[in-house]
Structure 1
């Protein structure tokens, strides 16, 4: 393959080749290669088929290092990717309520300036959640100034027996390889998608939360005549957030979750996606191992606080 071999498939490469009027370089992940043709996958998921006869130079190059993450911005981005049913603000702080389904959709997100003293902002938050008949909760980045300030005012862990939640990130070119299964994408999930996404009854408010993002896509894999793996992707700026990733019992450890993630990543690239994030609880070691192997790294951790 003109300097490239099977060992290079799946790695970043640069391929210089002839085009009408001169030469050009293509940088991306080598997807496949034959004696006649190589295929390079760009970060935006575009595939470039390059005839070997036109290649003048080609080599493997180091993976693109992950750029530092603005964790405060990602903290807000993740919230916007899965908006709550009801929202209100205290300055820049975001209040969320969704009939009690999920912590993220029913907690205060303290980002930016509340515009009032923290004690007063928390009192307003308590009033908001009392009105919605919900326990007051704050989602805080572990070790952040807000975490320390709010704890100092008497708030404590809402879920002391649960580990931290990790938010992990990587670039799309690490996860937009061709899936080994056929991944179907739709803008509106059907009953079969929800049946696979939830082990039991679907919470009444779940469709409003999951389908509430400005730009979302729902992925599924069908085997043996049924939906066996699902996931949801939401675009916020150049970020793809992946959640609701689930493989039904009896079909796990086959790479189906990875395929769903890859299918969503390949949708996001042409939509302007460049980076991706997801969340995982610390004790979910199989998922942690999979995401790390795919190139995800920790951005931050979060917990929930409640009023003592």
Structure 2
């Protein structure tokens, strides 16, 4: 008897089992798969370790790894790669993104890495890029970062002073991949019902290109009373799971549906080598922020949009 089941997939476990020579050894990691014949434990370096159930002498779930400090620079770029714009042009390592004006993230400069030119020149290039596309020049910048300070010194100002900061939260996958309280369906391509729930009607023209543009994507949905009432999008970038486009029908809120969506996507990610997860939430959305913090998410950084000041 292994002491585990398929419900433990995605959680850290320790499995004591017998080697071919007869000696006992332990393997510790995240349970990646489980069936009637064997289980697979994924080590911290993502190496899978398969054990036949007949060789297991004892196994149990163990506490998750403590949340380690995040590499903010890496995560900053990861979030962009997880939701690529319809069009991306590079200024050195900086990303100039355009998607017909739909969402700030998909229509803003991401100053990640080295622009390989003076910042003033890179910003002039950005102004030209967005002007040619009939879009306002925007830059997504981490608050209190050296880049943000340099932009402000060069005359860029808050583009949306009336809006709250956006928080980027992160945690280890172990903390968020418990079995969901609802059945969460996953698809590699969203259907009409998914889009209708996500957008309350017809999605913007650029939405499919942005939402479906990443290589490893899953679209999660929960159906109740014969209709889709909650949706979310998950994307894998390296060992990171990004969760976005979370929306619950107003008539079904405060039932734990957003939590179930995150958990369903986390379990999907765990089988693909996922180890950490991030999501974004506006700081004024107290209900969502509380729900995510209760799941174990913590603040990585805050960002705002800057634009060219008056001259």
TM category (shorter chain) comes to 0.7 to 0.9
1:72-115 Cα shifts (integer Å, max 9, x gaps) = 11101100000000110111110000000000000000111111
TM-score, normalised with respect to structure 2: 0.85
Q: CA RMSD in A?
A: 2.9
Residue matched to 2:304: 303
Aligned residues: 292
Q: Does residue 256 of the first structure (1) align with residue 253 of the second (2)?
A: no
Within a 5 Å distance, the mapping from 1:155-194 to structure 2 comes to: 155-194=156-195
In structure 2, C-alpha distance between the alignment counterparts of 1:24 and 1:285, rounded to whole Å = 47
Q: Please tell me whether the aligned partners of residues 11 and 177 of structure 2 are also in contact (alpha carbons under 8 angstroms).
A: no
Q: Please tell me whether the aligned partners of residues 243 and 278 of structure 1 are also in contact (alpha carbons under 8 angstroms).
A: yes
1:162 Cα shift? Answer: 1.0
1:204 Cα shift? Answer: 1.1
Q: Secondary structure of the equivalent of 2:194?
A: helix
Residue matched to 1:204: 205
CA change 1:300–1:63 in 2 (3 A) is same
Q: Secondary structure of the equivalent of 1:140?
A: strand
Gaps of 5+ in 1: 4-9, 31-38
Q: Please tell me whether the aligned partners of residues 27 and 41 of structure 2 are also in contact (alpha carbons under 8 angstroms).
A: no
1:59 Cα shift? Answer: 8.1
CA change 1:49–1:161 in 2 (3 A) is farther
Residue matched to 2:275: 274
1:116 Cα shift? Answer: 1.3
Q: Please tell me whether the aligned partners of residues 170 and 296 of structure 1 are also in contact (alpha carbons under 8 angstroms).
A: yes
In structure 2, C-alpha distance between the alignment counterparts of 1:234 and 1:12, rounded to whole Å = 22
1:44-93 Cα shifts (integer Å, max 9, x gaps) = 89999989x943xx888654112221111110110000000011011111
CA change 1:192–1:41 in 2 (3 A) is farther
Q: Please tell me whether the aligned partners of residues 28 and 173 of structure 1 are also in contact (alpha carbons under 8 angstroms).
A: no
Residue matched to 2:238: 237
Gaps of 5+ in 2: 4-9, 32-38
Within a 5 Å distance, the mapping from 1:1-308 to structure 2 comes to: 14=14, 16=16, 21-25=22-26, 27=28, 54-55=57-58, 63-308=64-309
Give the 4+ runs in structure 1 shifted more than 2 A.
10-30, 39-51, 58-63
Q: Secondary structure of the equivalent of 1:271?
A: coil
In structure 2, C-alpha distance between the alignment counterparts of 1:26 and 1:224, rounded to whole Å = 43
Q: Please tell me whether the aligned partners of residues 64 and 174 of structure 2 are also in contact (alpha carbons under 8 angstroms).
A: no
